[in-house]
């Protein structure tokens, strides 16, 4: 039994290392979008591994842990997508290293069409 607990603790530790790296990225990255990349998603594996480790230690709640993992996999991308989309629509400043922005042209085109219709 002891060995299973040690394995579970090690997996949780590995998950917390990924969470730490995500937090470091949150400070180091230059703009909103790259922060969303590291802050909400370099931590995906961190959260999953932490939960998996807990599920291995306390095996009687493994079903609930599995459900938690599934719901995180469904809801996490929706929230980060909406944050990024809202940030881009209100025109948050992008970092200077940004190489290409094909979405901007698309949005401008849509805006022009709207003004044409209203005229």
Partner 1 sequence: MKIKSLIISIITLFVIWVLLNMKLSTEVLISGAVVSVLVGLIFCYTCGIFDDLKLNPKAIGYWFLYIFVFIGELVKSNFDVARRVVSPKLPINPGFVEVKTKLKSKLGRMILTNSITLTPGTLTVELKDDTIFIHWIDVKGENMEEHTNAIVSKFEKYLEVIYG
Which residue number, 78 or 119, has a Cβ lying nearer to partner 1? Answer: 78
Q: From CA 77, how far away is CA 10, in angstroms rounded?
A: 27
Decide: helix, strand or coil at residue 93. Answer: coil
Q: How far is the CB of 30 from partner 1 (least distance, A)?
A: 8
Q: How far is the CB of 93 from partner 1 (least distance, A)?
A: 13
Q: 92 to each of 27, 29, 31, 95, how far by Cα in Å? A: 18, 15, 9, 10
Give me the torsion for CA of 62, 68, 70, 71, rounded to 10°.
160
Which residue number, 42 or 56, has a Cβ lying nearer to partner 1? Answer: 42
Q: How far is the CB of 17 from partner 1 (least distance, A)?
A: 9
Q: How far is the CB of 118 from partner 1 (least distance, A)?
A: 21
- Residue pair 5/35 in contact (Cβ under 8 Å)? The answer is no
Which residue number, 96 or 119, has a Cβ lying nearer to partner 1? Answer: 96
Which residue bears the tokens 């909103």? 32
Q: Which residues bind partner 1 (CB under 8 A)?
A: 18, 21-22, 24-25, 28-31, 33-34, 36-38, 41-42, 44-45, 60-64, 66-67, 73-74, 76-78, 80-81, 84-85, 88, 95, 97-104, 106
Task: Identify the burial level of 71 via C-beta atoms within 10 angstroms of its C-beta, where 0-12 means exposed, 13-18 middle and 19 or more buried.
Answer: exposed
Which residue number, 30 or 111, has a Cβ lying nearer to partner 1? Answer: 30
């Amino acid at each position: 039994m002891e060995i299973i607990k040690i394995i579970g603790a090690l997996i949780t530790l590995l998950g917390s290392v990924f969470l730490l790296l995500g937090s470091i990225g949150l400070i180091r990255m230059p703009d909103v979008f790259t922060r969303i990349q590291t802050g909400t998603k370099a931590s995906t594996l961190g959260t999953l591994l932490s939960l998996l480790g807990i599920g291995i230690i306390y095996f009687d709640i493994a079903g609930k842990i599995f459900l938690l993992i599934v719901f995180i996999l469904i809801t996490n991308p929706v929230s980060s997508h909406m944050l990024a989309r809202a940030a881009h629509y209100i025109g948050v400043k992008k970092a200077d290293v940004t190489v290409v922005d094909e979405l901007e042209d698309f949005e401008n085109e849509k805006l022009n069409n709207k003004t044409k219709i209203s005229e």
